[in-house]
Amino acid sequence: MESMTLELRLLLACARVLTDQEEEVAIRRMLEEGIDWTLFAHKAVDHDLAILAGHTLARVAPDMVPDDILDAFRATIEQTRRKNRVLFDELARLIEALASDGVDAIPFKGPVLTIQAYGDLGLRAFQDLDLLILDSDMARTITTLTGLGYERKGGLTEAQIEMIQRLQGKDFVYREDAEIGVEPNMRFTPAHMALDIDYDGLWRHARRTSVNGRTMLTLAPEDDLLALAVHGGKDLWCKIKWACDVAALIGSQSKLDWGALAERARAQGCLRIILLAVSLARTYFHATVPDAIAALERADPVIEPMVQRIVMRWQADKPIGAPSNKTLSMDRLRIHDGVVRRVRYVARTLLLPGTHLVTSVPLPKGLSFAYVPIGIANDLIALPLQRAHRRMLARIGRLQDTLAGRNFPLAGMLASAGTRRSIKRFQKARAHAKRLLAADPNKINAAMTVRKDVRMTTFSC
């Protein structure tokens, strides 16, 4: 914590649902040191923690926060509370409609997490509604959502949609008039992540719960924590809010079965992801964790260095996003438990086609298997050729700039007639400027003439 900026330390201290007296004293001491409020606000917005941080500051030290910033925090909290009420009501409507069409759906993240972990619809903002559904129910789910006013964008073929669903493990539809998106998820991670999540087990452990007066299926607390950890892990916790979610859920579940959680995580190949999430929650949000889990975390030599790299990304001036699904990430490799899963991660990342390729190359449904060899050809042949072509053009441009500044004979130059004409005009302008400077070294017009002709002279190949 000592190497962090004061603004980041304050943000982490404020991004907690509850604070004790010692933590509140620490917050006030940091405020006394002098906060760069512009930097603090940017960092809070970048990591989607402005609401929670504003709530804490308004409660702990309202006298030490500028009035305009305090008013902005309060207005944002109330606006978020209203929006989340709308989201929750829509969620309940969707679940009821899906059930009437024979589809069971388990909501996760979103307003349900806000209610269960944060205890207040105004303390955590979400853009979309996430639902876990069975693979076999995806078509019926999309049909039901379409009947409720949601639609896909992009005009993709049936084969493209099916391939994207397989690659991403989800679909996405949007309702324009309500500005609400819905993600029906068959999996928590895209296909290139080689975790063995026991989705059958998730459904067996799910239970009907009353949430804000509505009865719906919810994940068991242990599976809820696993889902949050996997979500943060696949994106390497590039946003602080995901570690904050884990801490908030731990704080809200006094009867969390840590033994069952560790056992399930080990069997599913994501124990290290759980330990990493727990380490962030315990270290930076004071989450209470059993000694046995903390001991597992400290015994893993990979955890502490990864935590340090994550925090370094949090400190960056500009947000650092999640790694690309088409690029091998060493930290993504490390969070996979075991050699077999790591090999699968590497193979899938290198071989599976990206969604951009699928959306740009429509294929008939019977030929959807061809996306894999097309993707390999694109990565191994087309992309290197494109990069080589760009490098060649850059070198030609530098060469022409060099030649334009020299008095080489144009007749022997390997260039188009248009290029030679441009260079000839430039050489004449350069010679004219030199004569002006020789006559009067202080004359600025000569230098301006050169600058003007440099900007106006263009080369064509």
Q: What is the pLDDT of residues 52-106, one digit of tens each?
A: 999 999 999 999 999 988 898 889 899 999 999 999 999 999 999 999 999 999 9
Q: Domain containing 13: what range?
A: 1-65
Paired strand residues for 175: 180
Are 403 and 281 members of one domain?
A: no
Are 183 and 313 members of one domain?
A: yes
What pLDDT does 339 receive? 94
What share of the chain in percent tops pLDDT 90?
65
Measured distance CA(46)–CA(17) in Å, rounded: 19
Q: Evaluate whether residue 373 is within a structural domain.
A: no
**Total structural domains in the chain?**
3
Mean pLDDT of 16-32: 93
End of a domain among 50, 65, 80?
65
What pLDDT does 412 receive? 44
Are 351 and 385 members of one domain?
A: no
pLDDT confidence of 365, banded at 50, 70, 90? low
Q: Evaluate whether residue 417 is within a structural domain.
A: yes
**Helical ranges in 361-443 per DSSP H:** 371-377, 383-404, 417-439
Residue 439 has pLDDT above 90, yes or no: no
Distance of CA 408 to CAs 44, 282, 415, 459, Å? 58, 69, 13, 16
Judge whether 352 and 167 are in contact, CB under 8 Å: yes
End of a domain among 42, 65, 88?
65
- The highest-confidence range among 36-45, 373-382, 441-450, by mean pLDDT, is 36-45
Rg (Cα) of the chain, in Å, rounded?
A: 29
DSSP assigned state of 4: S
What pLDDT does 426 receive? 63
Paired strand residues for 210: 215
Judge whether 435 and 456 are in contact, CB under 8 Å: no
Are 327 and 278 members of one domain?
A: yes
What pLDDT does 19 receive? 87
Q: Report the DSSP pairing between strands 173-175 and 106-108.
A: unpaired
Q: Evaluate whether residue 369 is within a structural domain.
A: no
Q: Evaluate whether residue 433 is within a structural domain.
A: yes
Residue 356 has pLDDT above 80, yes or no: no
Q: Which of 204, 201, 331 is nearest to 265 (CA)?
A: 201
Q: Evaluate whether residue 367 is within a structural domain.
A: no
Judge whether 139 and 146 are in contact, CB under 8 Å: no
End of a domain among 362, 393, 426?
362
Are 295 and 414 members of one domain?
A: no
Tokens 């993504």 — which residue?
Answer: 332
Distance of CA 42 to CAs 29, 318, 355, Å? 21, 9, 31
Judge whether 70 and 33 are in contact, CB under 8 Å: no
pLDDT confidence of 358, banded at 50, 70, 90? confident
Cα dihedral sign, 61-67-69-73: positive
What pLDDT does 226 receive? 96
Measured distance CA(373)–CA(53) in Å, rounded: 48
Are 35 and 139 members of one domain?
A: no
What pLDDT does 451 receive? 46
Are 266 and 401 members of one domain?
A: no
Q: Evaluate whether residue 393 is within a structural domain.
A: yes
What pLDDT does 121 receive? 92
Are 448 and 384 members of one domain?
A: yes
Q: Evaluate whether residue 317 is within a structural domain.
A: yes
Are 100 and 128 members of one domain?
A: yes
Cβ neighbour number for residue 288 with a 10 Å cutoff: 12
Residue 390 has pLDDT above 80, yes or no: no
Collapsing DSSP to helix, strand or coil, 31 comes out as: helix
In which order are the strands placed within the sheet that holds 128-132? 106-108, 128-132, 180-185, 173-175
What pLDDT does 421 receive? 66
Paired strand residues for 94: none
Are 80 and 42 members of one domain?
A: no
Backbone angles phi, psi at 107, to 5 degrees: -75, 145
Mean pLDDT of 398-409: 53
Measured distance CA(232)–CA(137) in Å, rounded: 26
pLDDT confidence of 413, banded at 50, 70, 90? very low
Judge whether 245 and 49 are in contact, CB under 8 Å: no
Residue type at 389 in one-letter notation: H
Mean pLDDT of 107-133: 94
Residue 366 has pLDDT above 60, yes or no: no
Residue type at 31 in one-letter notation: L
Specify the higher pLDDT residue, 174 or 452: 174
Tell me which long-range contacts 160-168 makes (C-beta under 8 A, separation of at least 24).
Answer: 160/358, 160/359, 160/362, 160/363, 162/365, 162/368, 163/353, 163/358, 163/368, 163/371, 164/355, 164/358, 164/359, 165/138, 166/191, 167/191, 167/192, 167/352, 167/353, 167/354, 167/355, 167/358, 168/355
Tokens of 246: 């884990």
pLDDT confidence of 127, banded at 50, 70, 90? confident
Average pLDDT of the chain to the nearest whole number: 85
Question: Residue 204 sits in a domain of what CATH number?
Answer: 3.30.460.40
Backbone angles phi, psi at 409, to 5 degrees: -65, 130
Are 208 and 329 members of one domain?
A: yes
Are 418 and 388 members of one domain?
A: yes
Mean pLDDT of 4-12: 94
Q: Which helix (H) or strand (E) holds 43?
A: helix 37-46
Residue 218 has pLDDT above 80, yes or no: yes
